[in-house]
C-alpha cells in the first residue's frame, strides 16, 4: 500500500534539530525528503558529539532517517540553478536558517512564489516575525527560557531550569509539521502555496499554556492551591516554580522507592487524584484516613500533603519502583516508575510498538532511534537509516535533467 504522503516532494533545507525533526516525520509518512547540505561539511550535527570517529554522529542519524541527501552550494550560480529547478518541481521547502539567510541567498518568498506558486515555504525561527527579538539566533535552551518553560520549571529555591525534553527544538518541528500538512490541505482546494512559520518561543509557550492559566489565577486570587507553596509558603506576583507538583489540579510528587540511596531513578511519580483517595488509603495501609474529616477532601489534605507523601514513602521503602507500580495499578491509582534512558532503550513494549527501533546505517552499523510516536491502523511506519553526506546527489541531479558530464563538472567546481 502506498504511504499517505507519497508524491509530496520536500526540499529539506534544515539543520540541527528543530527543522530536521519536522522533515523526518514527514519522510516517515512517505514524503520524498531531499536534504540539501553544504558540500564537504553538511549538517553540523553529522560531526557533533561523535561516538565513532569518521561516522555520522547519532545526533544526525536520529533526526534524519528516511531522507535523501543532496550536497549543494546554494551560493554558487550553479547551486542556485539546481535549487531553482528543485523548487519548480517540489511541494514544500522547509528551512530553519538564522534570520534572513534564505533572503540573502536570493530565495525570497516573492522569488520562490514566482518559480512555483504552489510552493509551501515552512520556517522555524527563534522568535516570530516582527518580534523585538526577531534578529536573534536561537537554540533549544534559549527558547525554553524565552517561552516560559524555564521560569516555571525546577524548585522554588533554585534557579530557572530547562527540561531535558526538546521543547524548543523537536516540539517546534512538530508544530511546523502540522502547519505544513494544513497548508497542503488548503492548497488542494486553492492550488496556492503559502508561507508557514513557527517560532520556537511560541511553540514552547504553547506547551506552557497551563502556566499562563496559573498567572491569571494568581493575579486574581493571590495564591495557587495546587502548588507546594500553598498554604504555608509565600507567593509573589509571578507563577512560581513548583518542583514536581502536578500541574493539572491533582497533587502529585516524585517519591523515593527501595534503593533510592544508590539508584538515581529509584522513584515513582504518585498522583493523589480526588476520586482515588479511598483506594490510595487502602493501598498504603491507611484505611482510617478514608472517612477522617481531616483527610477526606482535597482541600482538607492540602496543608498535610507533604506528610501524606512522607507516609507513602514509608510504605514504598521496601518496594522497588516496579513492584510499587504493580501494586498501585491494581487500585487504579495514576502513577509510573521514573524510567532511565537505559530502561527505555530496553523496554520490550516500546520495542514491540516500534516506539524504539533498531536501524541499520552504512557506516555505523546498528543503532537505536525513536520511532514514530504516531500509530496508524493502515500503516506501519518503517524507519530507515539516515543518508550519508551527498549520497543521493547524482541521482537527484540526473532526475533534474543534468547529464553525467555536467554532474562531473559540478563536482569538480564544488558546486555539489
List, by residue number, the catalytic residues: 169
| Residues 155-184: x where in contact with ligand COA by CB under 6 A, - otherwise, as a string | --------------x---------------
Q: Counting contacts by CB under 6 A, is residue 38 touching ligand COA?
A: yes
Q: Counting contacts by CB under 6 A, is residue 209 touching ligand COA?
A: no
CB of 179 to ligand COA, least distance (A): 14
For ligand COA, the binding residues in 2-21 under the rule CB under 6 A are: 16-19
Among 96, 229, 369, 386, binds ligand COA (CB under 6 A): 96
For ligand COA, the binding residues in 247-266 under the rule CB under 6 A are: none
Of 138 and 305, the one with the shorter C-beta distance to ligand COA is: 138
- For 233-249, b/e burial (b = at least 16 CB within 10 A) is eeeeeebbbbbebbbee
- For 272-290, b/e burial (b = at least 16 CB within 10 A) is bbeebbebbbebbebeebe
Of 136 and 336, the one with the shorter C-beta distance to ligand COA is: 136
Q: Counting contacts by CB under 6 A, is residue 324 touching ligand COA?
A: no
Q: Counting contacts by CB under 6 A, is residue 145 touching ligand COA?
A: no
Residue span binding ligand COA (CB under 6 A) among the ranges 97-105, 301-309, 315-323, 393-401:
97-105
From CA 196, how far away is CA 218, in angstroms rounded? 35
| Residues 117-136: x where in contact with ligand COA by CB under 6 A, - otherwise, as a string | -------xxx----------
3-state secondary structure the chain: CCCCCCCCEEEEECCCCHHHHHHHHHHHCCCEEEEEECCCCCCHHHCCCCCCCCCCCHHHHCCCCCCEEEECCCCCHHHHHHHHHHHHHCCEEEECCCCCHHHHCCCCHHHHHHHCCCCEEEEEECCCCCCCCCCCCCCHHHHHHHCCCCCCCCCCCCCCCCCCCCCCCHHHHHHHHHHHHHHHHHHHHHCCCCEEEEEHHHHHHHHCHHHHHHHHHHHHHCCCCCCCCCCCCCCCCCCCCCCCCCCCCCCEEEEECCCCCCCCCCEEEEECCHHHHHHHHHHCCCHHHCCCCCCCCHHHHHCCHHHHHHHHHHHHCCCCHHHHHHHHHHCCCCEEECCCHHHHHCCHHHHHHCCEEEEEECCCEEEEEECCCCCCCCCCCCCCCCCCCCCCHHHHHHHCCCCHHHHHHHHHCCCC
Q: Counting contacts by CB under 6 A, is residue 68 touching ligand COA?
A: no
Q: Counting contacts by CB under 6 A, is residue 82 touching ligand COA?
A: no
Among 84, 105, 212, 364, binds ligand COA (CB under 6 A): 105
Of 71 and 152, the one with the shorter C-beta distance to ligand COA is: 71
For ligand COA, the binding residues in 337-356 under the rule CB under 6 A are: none
Q: Locate cell 536561537: which residue?
A: 138
For ligand COA, the binding residues in 356-415 under the rule CB under 6 A are: none
Of 75 and 329, the one with the shorter C-beta distance to ligand COA is: 75
Among 139, 230, 235, 260, binds ligand COA (CB under 6 A): 139
Q: How many residues bind ligand COA (CB under 6 A)?
A: 24
Q: Counting contacts by CB under 6 A, is residue 204 touching ligand COA?
A: no
CB of 30 to ligand COA, least distance (A): 24
Among 22, 36, 174, 281, binds ligand COA (CB under 6 A): 36
Among 29, 59, 60, 97, binds ligand COA (CB under 6 A): 97
Of 335 and 416, the one with the shorter C-beta distance to ligand COA is: 416
Of 17 and 153, the one with the shorter C-beta distance to ligand COA is: 17
Judged by the rule CB under 6 A, the positions of this chain that interact with ligand COA are 16-19, 36-38, 72-75, 96-98, 101, 104-105, 124-126, 137-139, 169
Amino acid at each position: 500500500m502506498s504511504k499517505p504522503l507519497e508524491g509530496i516532494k520536500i526540499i529539506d533545507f534544515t539543520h540541527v534539530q528543530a527543522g530536521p525533526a519536522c522533515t523526518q516525520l514527514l519522510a516517515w509518512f512517505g514524503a520524498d525528503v531531499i536534504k540539501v547540505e553544504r558540500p564537504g561539511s553538511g549538517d553540523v550535527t553529522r560531526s557533533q558529539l561523535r561516538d565513532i570517529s569518521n561516522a555520522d554522529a547519532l545526533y544526525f542519524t536520529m533526526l534524519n532517517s528516511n531522507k535523501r541527501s543532496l550536497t549543494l552550494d546554494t551560493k554558487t550560480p550553479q547551486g542556485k540553478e539546481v535549487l531553482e529547478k528543485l523548487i519548480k518541481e517540489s511541494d514544500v521547502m522547509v528551512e530553519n536558517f538564522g534570520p534572513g539567510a534564505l533572503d540573502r541567498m536570493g530565495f525570497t518568498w516573492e522569488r520562490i512564489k514566482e518559480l512555483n506558486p504552489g510552493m509551501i515555504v515552512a520556517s522555524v525561527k527563534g522568535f516570530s516575525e516582527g518580534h523585538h527579538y526577531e534578529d536573534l539566533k536561537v537554540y533549544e535552551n534559549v527558547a525554553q527560557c524565552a517561552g516560559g518553560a524555564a521560569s516555571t520549571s525546577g524548585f522554588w529555591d533554585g534557579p530557572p531550569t530547562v527540561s531535558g525534553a526538546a521543547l524548543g527544538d523537536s516540539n517546534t518541528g512538530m508544530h511546523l509539521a502540522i502547519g505544513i500538512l494544513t497548508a497542503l490541505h488548503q492548497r488542494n482546494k486553492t492550488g496556492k502555496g503559502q508561507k508557514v512559520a513557527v517560532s520556537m518561543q511560541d511553540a514552547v509557550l504553547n506547551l506552557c499554556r497551563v502556566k499562563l492559566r496559573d498567572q491569571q489565577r494568581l493575579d486574581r486570587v493571590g495564591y495557587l492551591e495546587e502548588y507546594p507553596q500553598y498554604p504555608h509558603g509565600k507567593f509573589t506576583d509571578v507563577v512560581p516554580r513548583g518542583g514536581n507538583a502536578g500541574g493539572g489540579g491533582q497533587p502529585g510528587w516524585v517519591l523515593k522507592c527501595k534503593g533510592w540511596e544508590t539508584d538515581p531513578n529509584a522513584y515513582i511519580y504518585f498522583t493523589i487524584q480526588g476520586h482515588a483517595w479511598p483506594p490510595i488509603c487502602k493501598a498504603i495501609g491507611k484505611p482510617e484516613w478514608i472517612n477522617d474529616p481531616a483527610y477526606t477532601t482535597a482541600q482538607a489534605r492540602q496543608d498535610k500533603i507533604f506528610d501524606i507523601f512522607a507516609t507513602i514513602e514509608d510504605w514504598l521503602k521496601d518496594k522497588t519502583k516496579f513492584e510499587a507500580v504493580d501494586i498501585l495499578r491494581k487500585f487504579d491509582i495514576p502513577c509510573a516508575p521514573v524510567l532511565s534512558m537505559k530502561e527505555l532503550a530496553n523496554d520490550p513494549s516500546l520495542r514491540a510498538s516500534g516506539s524504539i527501533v533498531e536501524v541499520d546505517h552504512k557506516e555505523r552499523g546498528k543503532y537505536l532511534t525513536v520511532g514514530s510516536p504516531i500509530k496508524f491502523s493502515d500503516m506501519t511506519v518503517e524507519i530507515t537509516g539516515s543518508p550519508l553526506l551527498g549520497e543521493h546527489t547524482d541521482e537527484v541531479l540526473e532526475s533534474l535533467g543534468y547529464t553525467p558530464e555536467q554532474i562531473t563538472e559540478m563536482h569538480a567546481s564544488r558546486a555539489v
